[in-house]
């Protein structure tokens, strides 16, 4: 027998608290401690009942507040105290979330666990931006790509394979390398006029969306002042963003209404 506790590796989704799964919300209610990332929104953290211990292990690209090894150690130590631990991660734990590394640490220390998937940032940001990831006649596949390698190593990506006009490209953590990504895709044969989008804080009330074409995306992002977290989506499906929009326009109307109220 072991006195170890139990760890639930939970996907918090892309930001909107109502996109969390029923199971994820239940586990937050039942936890003894919650270990959470920077990308977990305040709206979601407010779902944690008072009295439950909260441990922030927030990380920013290029500024690792807590090294991954230390995060693993924190989760293991909390679990060894015999408590129920929720490891709350933005999006889905296994989609560029390093969830596999944390699970391997739990296995090493013989700690029982479960993995609760979450709505990915890719699907959340695309849906709230009016961009279907696939669409008949436009996109037959989707590629999820990291735009940032560990320790700020140069991007080692086979751009020739990625530059497929029949594929939607979804790039995580690509803001810092955006100019290089756009140039590399064009050099690999993807049309410079390919529709492209950048979405900041997708699915939240702070969402901002920039629509452009591939060779102008960097300038458009610079002018807009977008800051991480930003999801990049490239492909013909982005051309549907204005027509299929249902969320961004409502945000803009809300801002407009507030401006009117302020001047009335």
| Positions marked active-site | 37, 59
**Residue 187: Cβ within 10 Å count:** 11
Three-state secondary structure string covering the chain? CCCCCEEEEEECECCCHHHCCHHHHHHHHHCCEEEECCCCCHHHHCCCCCCCEEEECCCECCECCCCHHHHHHHHHHHHHCCCEEEEEECECCCCCCCHHHHHHHHHHCCCEEEEECCCCHHHHHHHCCCCCCCECCCECEEEEEECCCHHHCCCCCCHHHHCCCCEEEEEECCCCCHHHHHHHHHHCCCCCCCEEEEEECCCCCCCEEEEEEHHHHHHHHHHHCCCCCEEEEECHHHHHHHHHCCCHHHHHHHHHHHHHHHCC
In terms of Cβ atoms closer than 10 Å to its own Cβ (0-12, 13-18, 19+), residue 138 is: middle
């Amino acid at each position: 027998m072991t006195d170890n506790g139990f760890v639930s590796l939970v996907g918090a989704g892309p930001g909107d608290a109502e996109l969390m799964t029923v199971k994820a919300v239940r586990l937050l209610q039942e936890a003894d401690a919650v270990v959470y990332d920077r990308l977990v929104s305040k709206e979601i953290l407010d779902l944690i009942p008072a009295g439950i211990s909260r441990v922030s292990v927030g990380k920013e690209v290029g500024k690792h507040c807590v090294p991954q090894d230390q995060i693993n150690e924190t989760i293991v130590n909390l679990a060894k105290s015999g408590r129920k631990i929720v490891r709350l991660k933005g999006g889905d734990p296994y989609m560029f979330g390093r969830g596999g590394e944390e699970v391997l640490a739990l296995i090493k220390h013989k700690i029982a666990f479960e993995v609760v998937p979450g709505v990915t940032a890719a699907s959340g940001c695309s849906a709230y931006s009016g961009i279907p990831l696939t669409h008949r006649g436009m996109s037959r596949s989707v590629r999820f790509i990291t735009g940032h390698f560990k320790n700020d190593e140069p991007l080692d990506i086979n751009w020739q394979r990625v530059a497929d006009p029949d594929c939607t490209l979804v790039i995580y953590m690509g803001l810092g390398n955006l100019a290089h990504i756009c140039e590399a895709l064009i050099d690999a044969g993807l049309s410079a006029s390919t529709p492209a989008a950048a979405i900041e804080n997708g699915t939240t009330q702070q969402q901002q969306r920039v629509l452009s074409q591939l060779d102008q995306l960097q300038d458009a992002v610079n002018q807009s002042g977008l800051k991480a977290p930003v999801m990049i989506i490239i492909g013909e499906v982005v051309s549907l963003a204005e027509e299929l929009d249902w969320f961004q326009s409502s945000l803009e109307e809300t801002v407009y209404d507030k401006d009117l109220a302020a001047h009335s």
